[in-house]
A and B are shown apart, each in its own frame.
Chain A
Amino acid sequence: MRVVEELRDSLFGIVERDPSTIVLGEDLLDPYGGAFKVTQGLSDAYPNNVITTPISEAGLVGVGLGMALRGRTVLAEIMFGDFLTLTTDQLINHAAKVKWMFNDAVDASLVVRTPMGGGRGYGPTHSQSIEKHFCGVPGLTVMAVNQFQSPGALLKEAAELGSPVLFIENKIMYSKLVEPDRLVTYDRPDAVILTYGGVTEFCVQAAERLLEDEELTVEVVPVQHLSPMPADLIRAAAAKSGRIFTVEEGTESWGFGAAVAEEILSAGITPRHFQPIAADPTAIPSARNWELEILPSVDKIERAIVASF
């Protein structure tokens, strides 16, 4: 099954189990079914549960938050992750804080789904991975899917959490097969890669190549919960090897690698080699070859790991 199909099945299941669920966003209605087809068929099957909205991300997340405050589970879709900046006020200043501002009398069961990532030649404002700006906000959970762990199960978890969730998908990943058997674990791997989201696939491919070409054992540990961070998962992974790499599609500074380093060092784990791999600190070019050059790739990951030995 492909990632887009798992997410779609999961959405159908969420609406089926709780008929008060609202799914809203731009261009969601059939036959178009959303820009990346995650909601395809949903409005035909559940016409009362799907709302197509005007082009206003701040407005649709605000409306979603209002309905969530009245007790519904709301799943809002932002067509491109880059447009999340328009929802920042609703998410950070409102959704994340209501349980404290209203003394735990309410919380907002609001999931904001959005695809991040480049590789499609969509240019500087439709290709970014800006989820790091939403991590570390108390009250806002950030999750990211990868195709080696069930994306559908993660979406179900997000919808059932009962508090605001930013749910990160990936445009390239939608057409990928869900392949849990490609995650390999070792007792004492030569290196460990901690990663999340779309670039998890690059890490798995690099690990497969390194095993075949260099006889190196590399364990890829995808992180699905970005914020708050799962300290136990990260520390257990880091304790397995003296070589720790982090891979993220966004830029490096104040990013995933830094957060992982904090978890590891504060636990007293001091790897012999720690290296974050991330996008170059620049806007994403529209020219496909330049875009691929500044983003993390299988080759970059492979070269960095070999160079560490």
Chain B
Amino acid sequence: MALIDIMTPRVNANEDEVLVAELHVAVGDQVDVGDLLISAETTKASVDIEATHAGTVSKINGKKGRMIASGSVIVVIDTGGDSAAAGDDASGADGGSAEVKVTTKARLRAEELGVDLDTVAPKAGRIGVAEVEAAAGKGPDGGPQVTAMQAVLVGGGGHGATIGEIAVACGWDLIGAVDGKLPKGTHVISGVEVIDTDDALQSLYDSGVRVAFVGIGGATSSETRQAVFEKLQAIGFILPPLVHPTAHFGADVKLGAASYVLPNAMVGPRCRIGANVIVNSSSTVAHDCVVGDHAHLTPAAILAGNVRIGASSVIGMGASVLFGVEVGRGCLIHNNVSVLMDVPDFTELSLEHAPKHRDLDA
């Protein structure tokens, strides 16, 4: 295939441009030698620009009513091959072997989305933003347009609203909540409503959403929250921790995935907090504490320094744990209990009853 440039003539020595008065062809038209392509004008004369070769019009640089510089290319004629195969789809199909033009915006978008340009199918020999987005699974054929800061909230109840609010305060853009019990359209917080059930998590992930927040609480047990956490991990979601701007977050603290520090909570220096932990509003965790995965420190719970809390344990509202004490796994410490000595795994402690063993599947 040969591309023939048709040049804009210089009609008048003192005029550097001609006016494109009339376009007689469009891109894709078949032309023969001598066919009229464009009528052009200067202030002194008008001229007809004719085809010098037979073929398909592949590009027109002039626009009707616009000026174009003398000596520049005004029309390109493709003389090669079977004329019927010159349409957009045909050139797109063999785009893999020909040189493919990637637009600058498409290159930037591919970097942003982590898309390998070699995997993107060109359209008419070109890769644009639309092609990159289609390759990322966010094309115009459905699927929301996703940005890196977009996230889904799992759970649309009271705790979901609390976590949703913190996520927004931390700069995340929530696309909505999924909830197995609440109907679609249920208001969670301003701008966030229930968009589907938990079953939609996989398809949300497939559409490009990569970040999720666990909006499930658990006043006495962490089992449901743990199950949601594990499901999200299995799908592949990124589960960032959150620290509300009003919380104090001490030096050298480690905070695991999907662990959230709520408003006005205090976490002292050098604490190690596992994954999927709730450090609820106004709770205090003094220095050097270790808190296991899935634990819940409910509002106003107080841990003195060097306390250890086992995985999946719940510390009630107003309960306190003395310096250096170790609470085992799966424990439930009721409201206002003062824990003064170590507590074995799966123990339930309350003000009203003697300590008893909990039967937890975990």
Any A CB within 8 A of the CB of B129 = yes
Which one of B16, B67, B104, B108 has the greatest number of beta carbons of chain A within 10 Å? Answer: B104
What count of chain A residues pass the 8 Å CB interface test?
A: 15
Q: Is the CB of B67 within 8 A of A215?
A: no
Any B CB within 8 A of the CB of A20 = no
Docked pose: A214 CA to B103 CA in angstroms = 4
Closest to B102 in A: A214
Q: Is the CB of B104 within 8 A of A176?
A: no
Q: Is the CB of A176 within 8 A of B128?
A: no
Chain B interface category by residue count? 10 to 19
Q: Is the CB of A215 within 8 A of B129?
A: yes
Any B CB within 8 A of the CB of A187 = no
Docked pose: A119 CA to B71 CA in angstroms = 13
Any A CB within 8 A of the CB of B204 = no
Closest to B128 in A: A215
Any B CB within 8 A of the CB of A239 = no
Given A215-B128, A215-B129, A309-B108, A175 contacting B103 (CB threshold 8 A): no
Any B CB within 8 A of the CB of A213 = yes
CB distance from A8 to the nearest CB of B (A): 14
Docked pose: A306 CA to B105 CA in angstroms = 10
Q: Is the CB of A216 within 8 A of B104?
A: yes
Any B CB within 8 A of the CB of A236 = no
Q: Is the CB of A215 within 8 A of B43?
A: no
Docked pose: A210 CA to B17 CA in angstroms = 22
* CB-defined contacts of B104 to chain A, threshold 8 Å: 210, 214-216, 306, 309
Task: Produce 1/0 per residue, B3-38, CB < 8 A to A.
Answer: 000000000000111010000000000000000000
Task: Produce 1/0 per residue, B110-127, CB < 8 A to A.
Answer: 000000000000000000
Docked pose: A214 CA to B43 CA in angstroms = 34
Any B CB within 8 A of the CB of A267 = no
* CB-defined contacts of B105 to chain A, threshold 8 Å: 190, 214-216
* CB-defined contacts of B16 to chain A, threshold 8 Å: 119-120, 172, 175
Any A CB within 8 A of the CB of B146 = no
Closest to A119 in B: B16
Any B CB within 8 A of the CB of A177 = yes
Query: 22 A–B contact pairs at CB < 8 A?
Result: A119-B16, A120-B16, A175-B15, A175-B17, A176-B67, A177-B19, A177-B66, A177-B67, A179-B66, A190-B105, A210-B104, A214-B103, A214-B105, A215-B105, A215-B106, A215-B128, A215-B129, A216-B104, A306-B104, A309-B104, A309-B107, A309-B108
Residues of A in contact with B (beta carbons under 8 Å apart) = 119-120, 172, 175-177, 179, 190, 210, 213-216, 306, 309
